[in-house]
Amino acid sequence: MYDAVGYVGVAAAVALETIVAPIPSEVILPMAGWKVSQSAADASVLEPLTSLPWNLPLAVTLATAGSVIGALVGYGIGAWGGRPLLDRYGRYVGIGGEDLDRADRWFDRWGSWAVFLGRMVPLVRTFVSYPAGISRMPMGRFLLFSTLGSLPWNAALIYVGFVVGENYPQIEAAIKPFEYLVYVVVAVLVILLVARWWLSKRAARRAAG
CA dist 179 and 52 (Å) reads: 32
Model pLDDT for residues 89-123, shown as the tens digit of each residue: 666 655 666 666 666 676 667 667 778 877 877 76
CA dist 198 and 141 (Å) reads: 24
Domain residue spans in the chain? 2-208
pLDDT at 61: 96
pTM for this model (two decimals): 0.70
Model pLDDT for residues 14-31, shown as the tens digit of each residue: 998 887 766 778 788 988
Q: Which amino acid is at 5?
A: V
Model pLDDT for residues 45-73, shown as the tens digit of each residue: 899 999 999 999 999 999 999 999 999 99
pLDDT at 92: 60
The SS3 of residue 77 is helix
What long-range pairs does 152-156 form, CB within 8 A, spacing at least 24?
Answer: 152/120, 153/25, 153/119, 153/120, 153/125, 153/182, 154/14, 154/25, 154/29, 154/60, 154/63, 154/64, 154/67, 155/60, 156/182
pLDDT at 9: 92
Is pLDDT above 80 for 165? Answer: no
Cα 1 to Cα 11, 20, 80, 126, 150: the distances in Å are 11, 18, 31, 21, 22
